[in-house]
């Protein structure tokens, strides 16, 4: 299902896509649609994530891993171009985690990140999930969306699923964030 970004309180805007320093075209917020990822999107999602790992807030994902979970991803598209993505990973029946949230550098500040997270909130709520969480070294965006920074121990599902096998267990630099569903910031 396609969903155009809401036009709520935020102003329409445009961000310019640059290639080798030349402005080639603008990403217009009103042209951006959000939909579930399809198998044909795997390469573009991988490229988007890989292209922003160096910023330091994303974990790398392999194409095989993305393909195995393609139906969990939502993507933001501007025409045929994927300009953003996010993954929702179930940790238990009640708790799911937002992963691999990234917007292409040229498409930021247009409300696309909010649109993707709100779409994950909608999907999680429909599936009966009670809590959405995220783990990141840059919590500001999620706090702005209504998530709260919480002790890691409030999310035992994550500790069980990932933290115990992580080399940085108990010395992790990431913040744990939690959103009881129904409290997201609609923009």
Ligand X SMILES: CC(C)(COP(=O)(O)OP(=O)(O)OC[C@H]1O[C@@H](n2cnc3c(N)ncnc32)[C@H](O)[C@@H]1OP(=O)(O)O)[C@@H](O)C(=O)NCCC(=O)NCCS
Q: In the range 53-92, which residues lie near ligand X by CB under 6 A?
A: 55, 57-58
End-to-end Cα distance, the chain: 20
Euclidean distance between CA atoms 134 and 156, whole angstroms: 13
Q: In the range 33-52, which residues lie near ligand X by CB under 6 A?
A: 52
Residues with Cβ < 8 Å from 160, sequence gap 6 or more? Answer: none
User: By CB under 6 A, which span of 34-42, 60-68, 87-95, 135-143 interacts with ligand X?
Assistant: 135-143
Among 42, 70, 101, 129, binds ligand X (CB under 6 A): 101
- Residue 114 is a binding residue for ligand X (CB under 6 A): yes
Number of residues in contact with ligand X under rule CB under 6 A: 19
Closer to ligand X by CB, 8 or 128: give it: 8
Euclidean distance between CA atoms 137 and 3, whole angstroms: 30
Q: How many other CB atoms sit within 10 Å of the CB of residue 90? A: 15
- Residue 121 is a binding residue for ligand X (CB under 6 A): no
- Residue 136 is a binding residue for ligand X (CB under 6 A): yes
């Amino acid at each position: 299902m396609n969903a155009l970004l809401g036009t709520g309180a935020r102003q329409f805007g445009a961000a310019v896509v640059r290639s080798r320093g030349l402005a080639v075209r603008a990403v217009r917020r009103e042209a951006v649609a959000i939909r579930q990822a399809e198998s044909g999107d795997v390469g573009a999602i991988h490229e988007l994530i890989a292209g922003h790992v160096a910023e330091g807030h994303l974990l790398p994902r392999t194409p095989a891993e993305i393909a195995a979970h393609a139906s969990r991803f939502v993507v933001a598209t501007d025409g045929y171009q994927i300009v953003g993505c996010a993954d929702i990973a179930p940790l238990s029946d009640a708790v799911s985690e937002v992963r691999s949230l990234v917007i292409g550098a040229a498409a930021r500040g247009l409300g696309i990140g909010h649109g993707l997270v709100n779409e994950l909130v909608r999907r999680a709520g429909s599936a009966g999930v009670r809590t959405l969480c995220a783990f990141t070294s840059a919590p500001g965006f999620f706090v702005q969306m209504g998530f709260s920074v919480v002790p890691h121990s409030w999310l035992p599902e994550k500790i069980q699923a990932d933290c115990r096998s992580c080399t940085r267990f108990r010395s992790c630099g990431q913040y744990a964030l939690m959103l009881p569903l129904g409290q997201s910031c609609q923009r």
